[in-house]
């Protein structure tokens, strides 16, 4: 099966930048146990092409439009810098629209809004959005006819994609960068405010035009889990009428009835989503156990300020999750582990044996009579060392320095990028 992972379309340097920004975006959300593998497993299955760096859907057209406009100009001396500065100016344009219409900037989705007055964002929109551009078929496939070229490959062979049409009637010999529909639509013009992307002056809105929404609905609804396979959940959601799509985008979790009703009755992801939901809560419990173990070390071994409070709060939170009447207990204790392993075996990034063992032990512990977190201390310590190296593991008593930057926060169930995807779907439905 060919890889559908988004990171395969950006360079190693861009990945490092993405990881840096990801840490800033997800500050306070820890993954010492490597449970994000389960998150990626189901997020990629249900919502291929998405990532936590995505904010608003119209960035697809801002990025594509910017490259199309650059294709029509003489090649810059430094394409990387030209793109970065154009994307920085695009942020100014989005800020101008929000200011003119008295819109809140907090939560607006403007990438780099707090830093663009000083410099371009570390992770440019074109880096984040190249994955959906590729995975959703907005970019043209490469010469082999399969995956679209990476951003680095396009930059490295830019003259291949530039317009070579010198006068009216002359045949354009450039290689296509976008799919046939978009190339044809943009052949003679880029309509509306997209003509001004990157000029730094013309206000830009995140509201998609009717044509843009229709185009993306067609692209998303044609997605496959793998070549020749069934359509993923996001494809079925995109095919909904706007009113139903808007309603689905407002629910808090991806396993809500309004989301699942978009799937055909016998679609395999109806059952898969149940496993994903149960796994989300079992991972929440595993994280809560880890928090108790770390907070206990901080309180009893390190004896630092707030240690006693954190230990008490962590233990209380774990106790709430482990009550037989709690949602976390009822769903986590019934996770089909063999089903999880089967889901993993057909994925590009399977759940490793160490994580499967941790999940199994956590479920056994949850269903037992004793909910003493210390019973899971060894496997969690070994897992953390395996993921972080011994010198960075917080569960080692001697690792006091590694615990200095730790603060207690209540562990949450996995949501498989739903907070990001629901915002994108809201844009697709035309919700203001």
Cβ-in-10-Å burial (0-12, 13-18, 19+) of 232 comes to: buried
Arithmetic mean of pLDDT, 297-315: 95
Cβ(161)–Cβ(174) below 8 Å: yes
Sign of CA dihedral 365, 370, 374, 375: negative
Looking at residue 141, the DSSP 8-state letter turns out to be P
pLDDT band at 6 (very low <50, low <70, confident <90, very high): very low
pLDDT band at 19 (very low <50, low <70, confident <90, very high): very low
> How many angstroms separate the CA atoms of 385 and 380, rounded?
9
Strand (E) or helix (H) holding 40: helix 36-46
* Size of the chain in residues: 432
Looking at residue 231, the DSSP 8-state letter turns out to be P
Query: Does residue 168 register a pLDDT over 70?
Result: no
Scored b (16 or more CB within 10 A) or e, 239-266 reads bbeeeebbbbbeeebbbeeebbebbeee
pLDDT band at 26 (very low <50, low <70, confident <90, very high): very low
Question: Lowest-pLDDT range, 20-24, 128-132, 199-203, 253-257?
Answer: 20-24
Other C-beta atoms closer than 10 Å to the C-beta of 17 total 18
Arithmetic mean of pLDDT, 109-135: 95
**Tens of pLDDT, residues 185-242:** 988 778 789 999 999 999 999 999 999 999 999 999 999 988 888 999 999 999 999 9
CA atoms within 13 A of residue 25's CA, in its CB half-sphere: 19
Query: Does residue 15 register a pLDDT over 50?
Result: no
> How many angstroms separate the CA atoms of 382 and 359, rounded?
14
pLDDT band at 95 (very low <50, low <70, confident <90, very high): very high
Cβ(205)–Cβ(214) below 8 Å: no
Query: Which sequence spans correspond to the domains of the chain?
Result: 32-47+269-416, 59-231
Other C-beta atoms closer than 10 Å to the C-beta of 119 total 11
Question: Lowest-pLDDT range, 53-57, 102-106, 186-190?
Answer: 186-190
Residue 67 backbone phi and psi in degrees, to 5: -65, -35
Residue 37 backbone phi and psi in degrees, to 5: -60, -35
Mean per-residue pLDDT over the chain, rounded: 90
Kindly state the percentage of the chain with pLDDT values over 70.
90
**In the prediction, which pLDDT does 1 show?**
35
Question: Lowest-pLDDT range, 129-143, 151-165, 282-296, 355-369?
Answer: 151-165
**In the prediction, which pLDDT does 166 show?**
56
Query: Does residue 17 register a pLDDT over 50?
Result: no
- Where do we find the tokens 């309509």? 191
Kindly state the percentage of the chain with pLDDT values over 90.
79
Alpha helices in 137-230 (DSSP H): 151-156, 180-185, 210-221
**Tens of pLDDT, residues 239-252:** 999 999 999 999 99
Q: Which of 414, 409, 229 is nearest to 331 (CA)?
A: 414
Residue 127 backbone phi and psi in degrees, to 5: -70, -45
Query: Does residue 147 register a pLDDT over 90?
Result: no
**Tens of pLDDT, residues 268-294:** 999 999 999 999 999 999 999 999 999
> How many angstroms separate the CA atoms of 415 and 254, rounded?
7
Query: Does residue 395 register a pLDDT over 60?
Result: yes
3-state SS class at 88: helix
């Amino acid at each position: 099966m060919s890889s559908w992972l988004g990171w395969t379309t950006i360079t190693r340097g861009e990945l490092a930048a993405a990881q840096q920004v990801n840490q800033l975006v997800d500050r306070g959300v820890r993954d010492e146990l490597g449970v994000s593998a389960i998150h990626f497993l189901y997020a990629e299955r249900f919502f291929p092409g998405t990532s936590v760096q995505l904010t608003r859907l119209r960035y697809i057209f801002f990025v594509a439009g910017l490259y199309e406009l650059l294709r029509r100009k003489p090649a810059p001396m430094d394409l990387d810098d030209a793109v970065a500065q154009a994307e920085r100016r695009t942020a100014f344009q989005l800020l101008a629209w929000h200011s003119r219409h008295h819109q809140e900037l907090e939560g607006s989705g403007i990438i780099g809004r707090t830093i663009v007055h000083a410099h371009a964002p570390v992770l440019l929109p074109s880096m984040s959005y190249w994955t959906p551009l590729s995975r959703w078929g907005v970019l043209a496939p490469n010469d082999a006819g399969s995956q679209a070229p990476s951003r680095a490959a396009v930059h490295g062979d830019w003259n291949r994609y530039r317009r070579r049409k010198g006068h009216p009637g002359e045949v354009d010999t450039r290689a296509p960068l976008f799919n046939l529909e978009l190339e044809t639509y943009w052949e003679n013009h880029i309509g509306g405010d997209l003509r001004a992307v990157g000029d730094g002056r013309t206000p830009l809105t995140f509201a998609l035009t009717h044509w843009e929404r229709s185009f993306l609905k067609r692209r998303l609804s044609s997605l496959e889990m793998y070549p020749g396979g069934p359509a993923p959940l996001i494809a079925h959601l995109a095919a909904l009428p706007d009113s139903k799509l808007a309603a689905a985008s407002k629910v808090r979790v991806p396993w809500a009835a309004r989301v699942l009703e978009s799937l055909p009755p016998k679609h395999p992801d109806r059952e898969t989503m149940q496993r994903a939901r149960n796994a989300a809560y079992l991972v929440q419990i595993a994280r809560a156990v880890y928090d108790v173990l770390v907070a206990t070390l901080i309180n009893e071994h390190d004896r630092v300020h707030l240690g006693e409070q954190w230990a008490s709060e962590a233990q209380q939170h774990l106790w709430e999750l482990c009550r037989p009447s709690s949602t976390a207990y009822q769903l986590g204790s019934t996770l089909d582990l063999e089903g999880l392993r089967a889901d993993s075996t057909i994925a590009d990034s399977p759940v490793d044996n160490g994580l499967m063992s941790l999940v199994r032990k956590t479920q056994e512990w949850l269903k037992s009579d004793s909910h003493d977190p210390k019973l899971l201390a060894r496997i969690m310590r070994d897992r953390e060392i395996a993921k972080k190296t011994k010198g960075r593991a917080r569960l080692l008593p001697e690792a006091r320095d590694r615990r200095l930057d730790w603060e207690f926060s209540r562990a949450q169930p996995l949501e498989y990028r739903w907070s990001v995807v629901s915002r994108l779907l809201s844009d697709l439905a035309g919700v203001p």
